[in-house]
Amino acid sequence: MSEAELPALADRLAVSVDLAVFSVRAHDLQVLLARRGAAPFRGRWALPGGFVRPPETLDDAARRRLPEVTDVPGAYLEQLYTFGAPRRDPRGRVISVAYFALLAGAAPPRGTEDAEVRWHSVNNLPELAFDHAEILRYALRRLRYKLEYTAVGFELLPNEFTLTELQTAYEIVLGEKLDKRNFRRRILEADILAETPRYRESEGQGRPARLYRYKRNAVMEVKARRLFPWGVKEASDERQRHDSPE
């Protein structure tokens, strides 16, 4: 930031936000995609997003997109990474600040005037416009990491939920079965859930399950872990940059 003057208009860049909106629906991890109604990539599916307007925050720009594609009370939103390859958009230089969002599974997609919006299974994705496949791969990786060392899983569920529903959501996202007793021990010891007096009695047989809700104002914090008590592997084939967070 040493230049005295802002760059000339011609040297300014278009800045967009793109959202990877995840939800667990139909026992599957899904992401919200919008079909492009105009060139370039007309007809292709893409992450919902749009250009940042001069007076708004990046977070605001991202949050503003949400009601355009789905009905949702509160959603978890987090900035992910900024993608800025010079030719990622054929129209010209556009840098994209990627966000990911977590929604309770109930949210139905909401089409816009000329843009069809639909949930897609992350296991069965169409070809995506721009570099959105890369963005989505990255978002997915981050989502899994995040779920492993933080407890944002609630954001994928309605306000009240059973422990089994929570565990199932984790299993779906992580793609791996978890031990019931250990899962419950951990999540309860973490002291971020509050029992409600209510039970889920609905749908069919079986013993009714206690409903829990997420304790507001409980914030996950990674307990200071001494150095890296983990592992190291040889350089994997995975040829990706973006190894930030983890």
Q: Which residues inside 166-185 make contact with DNA, applying CB under 7 A?
A: 179-182, 184-185
CA 138 to chain centre: 10
Spatial CA neighbour of 18 closest among 32, 1, 3: 32
SS3 assignment, position 194 = strand
In angstroms, rounded to a whole number, what is the distance separating the alpha carbons of residues 62 and 177?
33
Residue from 56, 67, 128, 125 nearest 97 by CA: 56
Tell me which residue has tokens 């859930």. 193
Which parts of 221-240 interact with DNA (CB under 7 A)?
A: 226-227, 229-230
Among positions 51, 67, 74, 196, the unique one binding a copy of itself when judged by CB under 8 A? 51
CB of 123 to a copy of itself, least distance (A): 19
Q: What does 244 interact with, of DNA, a copy of itself, none (CB < 5 to 8 A by kind)?
A: a copy of itself
Place of tokens 């939920």: 161
Question: Residue 203 or 237: which CB sits closer to a copy of itself?
Answer: 237
The answer to the question of residue 237 lying near a copy of itself (CB under 8 A) is no
**11: Cβ–Cβ under 8 A, 6 or more apart, which residues?**
none
Region of 20-28, 119-127, 141-149, 157-165 interacting with DNA (CB under 7 A): 157-165
For residue 127, the minimal CB distance to DNA (Å) is 37
Catalytic residue (one of 68, 116, 134, 160): 116
Smallest distance, a copy of itself to C-beta of residue 207, A: 25
Alpha carbons within 13 angstroms on the beta-carbon side of residue 194 total 9
Q: Applying CB under 7 A, which residues contact DNA?
A: 162-164, 179-182, 184-185, 199, 201, 204-210, 226-227, 229-230
